[in-house]
Amino acid sequence: MVRIAHFSDLHYGPKNLIEADRCFGAAIDMAMASGVQAAVLSGDSTDHALDLHSPAAERLVAQVRRLADHCPVLMLQGTFSHEPPGTLSIFKSLGGRYPVHVVDQIGQVALMPNGCWQVSSSWRFDVLPDGLMALFSCVPTVNKAAVAATVGAGAAAEAVGEHLAFLLAGFAESHRRAQALAVPSIGVSHGTVFGCMSEHGVPMAGFDHEFTTGALFAAEAQAFMLGHIHRHQAWDCEAPHGQQRIAYAGSIGRFHYGEDGDKGWLLWEVDTSSAVCTLQPTPARRTVDIVFDGKPDLDTLRDAVAQQDVAGAFVRVRWTVADEDRHEVNRQAIQEALGAAAEVKLEGRIVPVVRTRAAGISQLASLEQKVAAWAQATGVQDAGLLRCLDELVCSQPDEIAGRILEAKCLSCGDGGIKGV
């Protein structure tokens, strides 16, 4: 049996640095205390083409070096927008006690008893290395753009899925040979499994799926360690050659509001007939969402704060108001009510007031007809409006003003004007 620490989607970058470093640092401490024999980082260790001279890159290098002083490390190429090709090359030269192997192309890697990695010369080993401890079959992010250029954008997703299914089935022979030698076999990849759930608790939809669980199980590896989806989830299969498990570790920390479930890393125990993994939670930040259908009500907000502990939490308040009411939202009062929170994010959705003309109103001959048509379209009683319109047409402004002032005097009861 081999014990492996599986980390994924660290997303080190300026925006995520505090969260990522706190959680990854804690995860490394736990992994070393658990006595893991190898560590796998299954993609997106960096975030949005991280500059290597940035503080986030410095912290990631320091943490991976700390991990490599404990055990061999395998780092997989993630999404190209996060990790452009070549980004991870620097980790090959960290100089830790054990080597860091960066996987940026499809192939197999053998973990040797001395802690070194032995790499296949092609996409798989023709002959397995003597004495290997574990066999890793690696499929980093697939360049869909290259596939789309060949088969067309509309067929790219289907073509990628077909090619990867064929590839994974091709790994099965090597995995059977490893099993015959009592060597565990492990798959590692970065992509989307059909039917998986996002970190927000909704099924992943669209054309981004690279795998089916059937294709992954057909590789006949005991374990398949995945990255890309930020929610931990797993699938099991009882096969003739033993129990198999596919699992996403999920992101190391909580990088967005609305993410469900615990965050952490996976502790794997893999042998030739079974694979077991358990989620080890990290100290990810707490997020709280408070949502109003209309204008935020401060009393309701204070009640919500009293019912749940927001001290040290990251709180998002969302509301929806009409454009004409937007200035009635007291943002400062909301901030003060949530003063104990680590961060307060205010998101107001403004609904524009749509003003429409009554159908055909511009074609009516008289202003009286237009007022009547507008009143009918908007549900307004037109009698008073038409009387006022008649006065405007038939009377001089001085006469209208005199009648208004006379009515005002009569309502006062003493013949004088009050409050002018």
Tell me whether residue 418 is in a domain: no
Q: Is 76 exposed, middle or buried (0-12, 13-18, 19+ CB in 10 A)?
A: buried
Same domain, 38 and 158: yes
Domains of the chain: total: 3
Same domain, 227 and 138: yes
Sheet holding 73-76, edge to edge: 100-103, 73-76, 38-41, 2-7, 264-270, 275-281
Considering only CA atoms, which of 96, 87, 3, 106 is closest in space to residue 48?
A: 87
Residue found under tokens 């994010």? 345
Q: Which two tokens stand for residue 40?
A: 């796998």
- 3-class secondary-structure state, position 168: helix
Q: What is the per-residue pLDDT for 208?
A: 57
Cβ atoms 292, 329 nearer than 8 A: no
Cβ atoms 259, 287 nearer than 8 A: yes
Q: Which two tokens stand for residue 41?
A: 């980082």
Considering only CA atoms, which of 133, 94, 140 is closest in space to residue 110?
A: 133
Rg from Cα positions in the chain: 33
- 3-class secondary-structure state, position 45: coil
Considering only CA atoms, which of 67, 214, 84, 93 is closest in space to residue 140?
A: 84
- 3-class secondary-structure state, position 230: coil
Q: Is 362 exposed, middle or buried (0-12, 13-18, 19+ CB in 10 A)?
A: exposed
Cβ atoms 100, 75 nearer than 8 A: yes
Tell me whether residue 417 is in a domain: no
Element counts in the chain: helices (H) and strands (E) = 10, 16
Domain boundary among 261, 281, 301: 281
Instruction: State which H helix or E strand residue 225 sits in.
Output: strand 223-227
Residue 43 sits in which domain range? 2-281
- Residue 295 has what DSSP assignment? S
Domain boundary among 307, 324, 351: 351
Tell me whether residue 420 is in a domain: no
Same domain, 159 and 297: no
Domain boundary among 230, 254, 281: 281
Residue found under tokens 């003309």? 357
Same domain, 256 and 376: no
For 265, what's the count of Cα atoms within 13 Å in the CB-facing half-sphere?
29
Alpha-carbon distance 76 to 282, whole Å? 21
Alpha-carbon distance 368 to 386, whole Å? 7
Tell me whether residue 320 is in a domain: yes
Which residues 6+ apart lie within 8 Å of 52 measured at CB? 87, 90
Looking at the DSSP bridge assignments, the partners of residue 392 are: none
Same domain, 194 and 335: no
**Verdict on whether the full-model pTM lies above 0.85:** no
Q: What's 122's domain CATH number? A: 3.60.21.10
Buried b (16+ CB within 10 A) or exposed e, 306-320: eeeebeebbbbbbbe
Tell me whether residue 153 is in a domain: yes
Alpha-carbon distance 369 to 360, whole Å? 11
| Helices assigned H by DSSP within 95-212 | 144-151, 153-180
Same domain, 269 and 175: yes
Same domain, 172 and 90: yes
Same domain, 15 and 59: yes
Same domain, 331 and 403: no
Tell me whether residue 177 is in a domain: yes
Cβ atoms 236, 243 nearer than 8 A: yes
Per-residue pLDDT of the chain (420 residues), as tens digits, is 999 999 999 999 999 999 999 999 999 999 999 999 999 999 999 998 788 889 999 999 999 999 999 999 999 998 888 888 888 999 998 889 999 999 998 999 999 999 999 999 999 999 999 999 999 999 998 766 554 454 455 565 666 778 888 889 999 999 999 999 999 999 999 999 988 888 887 787 655 557 889 999 999 999 999 999 999 999 999 988 889 999 999 999 999 998 988 999 999 999 999 999 999 999 999 999 999 988 899 999 999 888 888 899 999 999 998 888 888 899 999 999 999 999 999 999 988 876 666 667 777 878 888 888 888 887 888 888 888 888 888 888 888 888 888 877 766 655 444 433
Tell me whether residue 327 is in a domain: yes
Same domain, 132 and 170: yes
Tell me whether residue 68 is in a domain: yes
Same domain, 177 and 265: yes
Same domain, 190 and 54: yes
Q: Residue 172 — φ and ψ, nearest 5°?
A: -60, -40
Q: What is the per-residue pLDDT for 205?
A: 66
